[in-house]
Amino acid sequence: MKKLMRLLWDKVATNAHSLIIAAAVTSIAAVYSSQFQLRMPARVGFIICCVANLVLAFFIEEIPPNCDTYGVGRFCADCATVAPSHQNVSLPFVAPDYALSPDGAIVINLTSPTLMESDYSPEHYFIPTPPIAVIEEDIRVNRCWRFSGSQGHVAVKLARGVRLTNVTVYYPDYRELPSWRQAEAPKLLRIWALLPPGGYQSTVTLHTVSWEYFSIADQIPKPMALEDGSKFVQGGVISYDIAQPGTKQTFSVDLQFRTAVVIVEVLDNWGATTTCLHRLAVHGEEPPERTPSLDT
């Protein structure tokens, strides 16, 4: 009952302008009621307009889910706090991918556990694939890294340190997939970048978390790619649209520092009890090489 009353109060507050209009309309109607043979008091007409306005607002506007936050930096996937801040973009050229395994990128042990065959429904048989699948060019339907639930993350040490500019999410075209595989696609993803040693002066207002935020209980305490006190900076939240034709969607991620490790955190998928990740490409700009001085 309290939730219902709160919802009704929110509707009244957000539709106050409509109520004012209703009051004006009923006042005018009361003045000219004799011309139209109306026998309804202005007060009754005003109440009817108010009730009708609330009923329409209740059914037309989408009621948001419970959006309470939980944990350090973890948010409800449908809340405004993680609304996509970076939309799908098109690159005018073929950008280098610094998260490719053949070029030297590796998956480090800050990654969610791989879903094994025994944990999955027998009606949807598959061969478990390690998380290295996300840094390979192969995006065949059966070549994906799968984890349990709708939330998980994969950590990648890039082939070279770069300043992040874009991230590309690959997934087979939905028109060639059964509905249960479409539901396994990621929906909301959050991008994290390792803060360089010594920090960065412009990150004071950005969301940062310690590397322990991504640690898994049965993994090594600290990956070799990290240092004591390493922190990750949030680069933004992106939204992958499974209903968009094609096999890739690219998003802008603008971070003004060089990073060597990127973590892609899945906040939600398209409705399945498991999530499947295909290739994740990381694009960026390499800092200019310093030329040796000719001074002697």
Alpha-carbon distance of 146 to 242, in angstroms, equals 17
Q: Which domains does the chain have, with CATH numbers?
A: 2-60 (no CATH), 80-285 (2.60.120.260)
> At 266, which helix (H) or strand (E)?
strand 258-269
- Residue 212: per-residue pLDDT: 81
- Residue 90: per-residue pLDDT: 60
- Residue 175: per-residue pLDDT: 95
The phi and psi torsions of 100 (rounded to 5 degrees) equal: -95, 130
Look at strands 186-194 and 231-239 and give their pairing: antiparallel
CA-nearest of 129, 91, 117 to 284 is: 91
Crossing angle for the helix pair 2-14 and 16-31, to the nearest 10 degrees:
70
CA-nearest of 287, 289, 290 to 162 is: 287
- Residue 193: per-residue pLDDT: 95
Amino acid at 106: I
- Residue 234: per-residue pLDDT: 93
CA-nearest of 191, 187, 72, 184 to 129 is: 184
- Residue 196: per-residue pLDDT: 85
Which of the residues in the chain have pLDDT under 70? 1-46, 49-93, 117-126, 198-206, 217-225, 227, 289-296
| C-beta neighbour count of 249 within 10 angstroms | 20
